[in-house]
Amino acid sequence: MGRKNRNRQRAQQNRDGRAEGKRSRDDAGWGAGYSEIIKENKLFEHYYTELKIVPEGEFEEFMEAMREPLPATIRITGYKSHAKEILHTLKEKYFKEVQDLEVDGQKIEAPQPLSWYPDELAWHTNLSRKILRKSPLLEKFHQFLVSETESGNISRQEAVSMIPPLLLKIEPQHKILDMCAAPGSKTAQLIEMLHSDMDVPFPEGFVIANDVDNKRCYLLVHQAKRLNSPCIMVVNHDASSIPRLHFDQDGKKDVLFYDRILCDVPCSGDGTMRKNIDVWKKWTTSNSLQLHGLQIRIAVRGVEQLAVGGRMVYSTCSLNPIEDEAVIAALLEKSEGALELADASPDLPGLKYMPGIASWKVMTKEGQWYSDWSEVPTSRHTQIRPTMFPPTDPEKLANMKLERCMRILPHHQNTGGFFVAVLVKKAPMPWNRRYPKLQMGESPADVPPADGSSADAPVEAVEGETPAEGNPSVPDTPDLLEVKKDNVCGPPPPKKMKLFGFKEDPFVFLTEDDPIFPSIQAFYDLSPGFPKLNVLTRTHEGKKRQLYMVSKELRNVLLNNSERMKVINTGVKVWSRNTDGEQFGCAFRLAQEGIYTLCPYIRARIINICVEDVKVLLTQENPFLRKLGDDAHNQAKKLGHFSYLYFFKNVSTFITLLFVLDHLCIKLQKTSMGGMVNLTTFSLLTVVISLSLFFSFY
């Protein structure tokens, strides 16, 4: 049989197999595809019984919780102006309606706030995702969650996943790196904290979210775009060798060190058994043994790029000490005092957790135990490494204070399993000694090394010696080609860096005298402080169709590092070309997603509206101008055609809503709406529900 025929037959068999599997699942009902998976794994039970990470007498309760479906948890986007109203609606409307229901013999308990999450902005219930999606009685609640999630007002996120961003203690001026960010729920939290003051459109800080998987980067972009921030950049790199970045400060090029780093590493995921049923049959200790080295390399690269005094959170959704305490212990030992485990217990009052352990053993997938590296036979040295065991020096082990690590067990607060540790950098890492000659009064971070490496770069190994496993040995990316065109940030040259996935369009920053600005400036009466240099587009040829904005700090990073990093997405869309607008004096209409960024600078095209006008905009399929109140209608007549910004502020409830509508004709007999920018999801499905208690029209 020829190769083509064999491939065709194999493809047909795969399609038939998938189709048969789909039919069997569909015939059996939702979720029945996992019916053949028995939630038992004797090796798993034996392993964790022996390690004693579960308090004595609680192991059966622990296993029973692991077999139960994970409850649904939601988090309200805390920085938005109407967050309190969404919370009020949830508590007074939806939660009261579901608390007395009984579905499939299961009584629905009243949703409860997570005791350790601030301001009651995170809630959990005993509703599983299966019940929530399939029960007709909960259909309205489920629709509410879907619409609010799409608009960025609510995130459906596992409870334990919310912990790491809280422990980072984010402030608006912090430079943040999320090393393994996809799918992006934690990244969204970081963005929220960065924008804690919604009146500041451009915080000084920013978030760089990285993931090694190109396809998952686009999922990450989707998550981040819900929050419409100009301070987020998504990049695509291997976290264990993510390049060192530079930026301009006071006329000289500095190395970029991050104030906060989230290091949520790839793991075996046995803490997710409640939602990832496949883990039950696939779990084996070899998964942890294979991941341990990668986890150390990623963590080492993280602390190298952490600023002195900065804070890094290391986390996994695994309960295995080989992926948890062993990695932290190896990191602390290599740091020689430069790192310190912080006591994070006061930061989350109400969170139940087990302290980290200081003694553990290593088990092979065959069930053989080793208590010390000296017991491991030579034939196993490629699978088992010295860093997998706890330090043998009692004094060194005591100084590490591994009990400050936090392990969350599922049965304590009805969550998934999780591990988290907070590291504070007290001094440069001991291997970072290659500094250039400094002028009087300069610090090592002030001047990049002349050889193209970073001031915090690892020391090269001595010839003939092999670095110990986990030692930093990845050189920083050298300076590549200079940017060929001013203000153009293109992808790295293929010969210098191998690219995977889609080839991204370049990021082109506009100059202050760009011919596109005069018409926009006049039409929207932009204030003199409008940062024109922060505006960019994704093409340097042909007409500019979309205009985006980033903060000046991210602009700085982009312009100084475009040749050393692969940027997937950054900025928030603020204007979009509409050729119909040229006859009115401006070819660019406002974009809904960027309106909070632009609002402080726009002094024209604003229509102040009342509650009755809001009702029209939210409930009418075609909210014609004639349907608005006389005051709003008269304002529109004076402004003329094209794009308007509708502004509503309810002082009594502290709600501020901004709508962007394009009215291309204001004649009363033929009033038409030429376009609605992201309004369907933003308002019709979202704000209506959010404000239903106040407007009483839902």
Catalytically active residues, by annotation: 317
Does 184 show up as a binding residue in the annotation?
yes
Q: Which residues contact 207 (CB under 8 A, 6 or more apart)?
A: 176, 177, 178, 187, 190, 191, 194, 229, 231, 232, 233
Check if the beta carbon of residue 685 is closer than 8 Å to that of residue 151.
yes
Task: Give the 3-state secondary structure of residue 216.
Answer: helix
Q: What is the pLDDT of residue 660?
A: 64
What is the H or E stretch that residue 307 is in? strand 306-316
Does 196 show up as a binding residue in the annotation?
no
HEC secondary structure over 336-388: CCCEEECCCHHHCCCCCCEECCCCCCEECCCCCEECCHHHCCHHHCCCCCHHH
Q: What is the pLDDT of residue 433?
A: 53
Looking at this protein, which amino acid is placed at residue 435?
Y
Does 476 show up as a binding residue in the annotation?
no
Q: What is the pLDDT of residue 149?
A: 83
Q: Copy the structure tokens of residue 183.
A: 């799918």
Does 181 show up as a binding residue in the annotation?
yes
Check if the beta carbon of residue 423 is closer than 8 Å to that of residue 340.
yes
- Distances in Å between the Cα of 611 and the Cα atoms of 74, 614, 649 are 29, 5, 9
Q: Which residues contact 257 (CB under 8 A, 6 or more apart)?
A: 175, 305, 306, 307, 308, 310, 445, 456
Does 182 show up as a binding residue in the annotation?
yes
Q: What is the pLDDT of residue 501?
A: 59
Does 342 show up as a binding residue in the annotation?
no
User: Nearest-CA neighbor of 679 among 628, 626, 617, 632?
Assistant: 617
Does 238 show up as a binding residue in the annotation?
yes
- Distances in Å between the Cα of 666 and the Cα atoms of 210, 468, 635, 661 are 47, 74, 11, 12
Residues in the chain predicted with pLDDT less than 50, given as ranges, are 1-34, 434-484, 492-499, 651-654, 664-698
Angle at 551 between CA 546 and CA 555, to 5 degrees: 80
